[in-house]
Amino acid sequence: MDTVTLTMKNLPNLYLEADNISPDVFAGKKAQEIAELHVFEGREQFQLGKYFDVSGSPAAAAADTRIVVKGDTTRVKYIGMKMSAGEIMVEGNADMYTGAWMQGGKILVKGNVDAFTGIGMKGGDITIEGDAGNYLGAAYRGDWRGMQGGTIRVKGNAGSDTGYFMNGGEIIIEGDVDVHVATHAEGGRIIIKGNGKSKIGGQMVQGEIIVFGTIDVMMPGFKYIEDVEMEVDGTTANFALYHGDLGERHPKKKGQIMYGKLYQMI
């Protein structure tokens, strides 16, 4: 793996739109060419080099390219957007749309990320060591095709609307989540190791939610089925299985009605 290091030197007054920070874009370029890639601050277009020191050089292919982002990047959007291969490591925080529409490769953020992380994600692997904002692994507005595949792991807490319109892949929240989990989900799996609030699984068609902790208010459309023992992300325990959302339509497979599944640890 060849590494390119970006170090924030001039903070933007507003926010930076840096969708060019991706192994797919960097691969095969010289440090100078990378520094000349455009970023946007508001309506003004500038060069990446205006804000970042660029060192090291990428490999010829995205898959062999690693990007390390240093400094205060709390106000940088779109890091790793649409990336298909390679790795990005952000040492601090990142703003919105980190790994949005991601197709492959790995993103590691040591700090926090804001809203819309991994929206429309198709594949790859995102790890957030801090907290994640709202609409994690959700769908873009109006789209019924949310997260399709890949894995998102958040070591801290996540905001509201996690896995909105989720169709596939896996989201693991090691902390707590805010309201609305897997709303409109038709597939995929969300593991919450901390506590949930309310509105969990509302309007869910298919898919799985597993909650280790508490749920403030259970949705009325979830019906207790049975207790099951399962191994979940390294923990084996007994869970109460609920089917829902009974207020939603549900497809049939081989005469069997397919429900969304909500497991809560007992």
CB proximity list for 195: less than 8 A, separation 6 or greater: 176, 177, 211, 213, 214, 215
- 32 vs 45, which CB is nearer to other proteins? 45
Return the number of the residue (141 or 231) whose C-beta is nearest other proteins: 141
DSSP tag of 63: G
Farthest CA pair distance, the chain: 62
Measured from the CB atom, the residue of 148 and 203 that comes closer to other proteins is: 203
Tokens of 180: 């609305």
CB of 8 to other proteins, least distance (A): 17
Question: Whose Cβ is closer to other proteins: residue 67's or residue 132's?
Answer: 132
Q: How far is the CB of 192 from other proteins (least distance, A)?
A: 17
| Residue that is written with structure tokens 């069997």 in the block | 256
Report CA dihedral (240, 241, 246, 247) to the nearest 10 degrees.
60
Distance CA 194, CA 208 (A): 16
Least distance from other proteins to the Cβ atom of residue 171, Å: 16
Residue 246 Cβ, how far from other proteins at the closest point, in Å? 4
User: 14 or 230: whose CB is closer to other proteins?
Assistant: 14
Closer residue to other proteins, CB minimum distance, 55 or 195: 195
Tokens read off for 215: 């749920």
Residue type at position 109? V
- First-last CA distance in the chain: 45
Which residues of the chain form contacts with other proteins (CB under 8 A)?
Answer: 13-15, 17, 40-44, 96, 115-116, 133-135, 140-144, 159-161, 165, 178-180, 183-184, 198-199, 202-203, 217-221, 223, 245-249
DSSP class per residue in 149-170: S-EEEESS-B-SSBTTT--SSE
Closest listed residue to residue 147, CA positions, set 132, 167, 117: 167
Cβ-based nearer residue to other proteins, 28 or 42: 42
Q: Is the CA virtual torsion 155, 209, 225, 228 positive or negative?
A: negative
